[in-house]
Amino acid sequence: MRVVSVLGGRPHLVKSETIHLALERSDIRHETVECWLGPLSDYPWTSADFQLPAPLEVISEQSAGRLAGRLRRSMASVRPHVLLLYGDLDVTLLALGIAHQLDIPTVHIESGYRTGDLADREEFIRVAVDHGVTHRVAFTSSMAANLHAEGIDPGTVSHYDNPALFTMARRLRRPDGAPAAAPSRKATGLVTFHRDENVLDPERLVRIVGCMEALAASFALTIVLFRRTDLQLRRLGIRDRLEALAATAAAVRIRPTLRHEEYVAELSRASFVITDSSTVQDECAFLGTDCFVLRQASPRAADFPPTTRIVESIEPAQLASLAAAAVQRRRETPAKPDVLARGYDSTFVELLKRLTTTGGSAFEALPERPRPNKASS
């Protein structure tokens, strides 16, 4: 039996490693196709940085139409028994349409996240994919409840933990997911931001940089600049403010995209995290690290622990106060990671095998909504 994962961003790579290791122990042959669309090809090491097979094909295009054409030809040639889809990127939706054309059963790994805002491209993709695939994997009871509320058959929804967290636990080299080394006792913060609502809004981006300058007076900071963030900072002429900050504040480091192992090490040492990434929110919740989310809304909000909160207005004093409270909390009560209980075991293998006997895609065509593409989660 042949199963193919369609991977379109680093969050997909992180999740698919766990899936691959689970299927590697079975008689299912798991393979991948990497599809890098425009600015989402920001992870320079691709699958070589993960426990994944060499991809059947690496498709990198600026145009969604050209990428879809190449992916369709690849899938028509490979003819997998099941296609695994991840997340909420344009690549995910393109792959679903191709699976429908070729009558290939599909599984969406990460079903049921919702913000309720269909004006957001990622939300539209989430809903379209969840209603179009053959089977769905939900990580939490609230995700499953969202699917059931939309009329999706509970028999087509399975419950497993987020595979990205199993990958993180392996990087931390402890079976319970706890850091291999004790977290830093210094007041350290990790910062990442890349979403359109932050990097394409000049006023908001300037305020974020101002917050970094204010925080640097009290905390050690590692600021990870993804390529699109770095380019936008340069376009606005404010990249030099961060460079000056790193030059004058010894405890501030500006880093490009990190290898996953490096990133996990930085995250495990952080007293607090400031981010707009959904994946980072998941990881902070797992580790018990305070996380301040620079977004108007998050599809993870229903599952936020007390240590995660949305920060809609970018105010230096507010973030500094939140960071100080997080540092104090970390000193008094060390973070304790969650326990991962629902792994991708033989039941997941049997699920995939059953799909090959119950028919192909249940794709429901939804009206296309012309909106700008969003960045990866």
Quick one: pLDDT at residue 180? 55
Rounded distance between C-alpha atoms, residue 262 and residue 268, angstroms: 10
| Residue-level pLDDT at 354 | 94
- Measured between alpha carbons, how far is 163 from 343 in angstroms, rounded to an integer? 8
Q: For residues 198 and 228, is the Cβ–Cβ distance under 8 A?
A: no
C-alpha dihedral, 128 to 132 to 134 to 135, nearest 10°: 20
Q: Report the alpha-carbon distance of residue 238 to residue 223 in Å, rounded.
A: 14
pLDDT value of position 179:
52
Which residue ranges form the domains of the chain, and what is each CATH number?
2-161+342-355 (3.40.50.2000), 188-332 (3.40.50.2000)
Phi and psi, residue 41, nearest 5°:
-90, 55
Both tokens assigned to 191:
């910062």
* Cα distance between residue 216 and residue 188, in whole Å: 10
The secondary element (H helix, E strand) that includes residue 232 is helix 227-235
Measure the CA–CA gap between 274 and 277, rounded to whole angstroms.
9
Q: At what angle do helices 346-355 and 10-24 cross, to 10 degrees?
A: 100
25-29: long-range contacts (C-beta < 8 A, 24 or more apart)?
Answer: 26/346, 26/349, 27/1, 28/1, 28/2, 28/3, 28/349, 28/352, 28/353, 29/1, 29/2, 29/3
Query: One digit per residue, pLDDT tens: the chain, 377 residues?
Result: 999 999 998 999 999 999 999 999 999 999 999 999 986 556 766 788 899 999 999 999 999 999 999 999 999 999 999 999 999 999 999 999 999 999 999 999 999 999 988 888 999 999 999 999 999 999 999 999 999 999 999 999 999 999 999 999 999 875 554 555 555 456 799 999 999 999 999 999 999 999 999 999 999 999 999 988 999 999 999 999 999 999 987 789 999 989 999 999 999 999 999 999 999 999 999 999 999 999 988 998 888 999 999 998 889 999 999 999 999 988 887 777 777 889 999 999 999 999 987 654 443 433 344 343 444 44
Q: Which pTM was predicted?
A: 0.89
- Within 90-150, residue ranges assigned H as helices are 90-102, 121-132, 141-149
**Which helix (DSSP H) or strand (DSSP E) does residue 252 occupy?**
strand 252-255
> What is the pairing mode between strands 57-61 and 29-37?
parallel
Cross-strand bridge partners of residue 253: 222
Rg (CA), the chain: 20
pLDDT at 367: 36
Quick one: which of 100, 104, 107 has its CA closest to 156?
A: 107
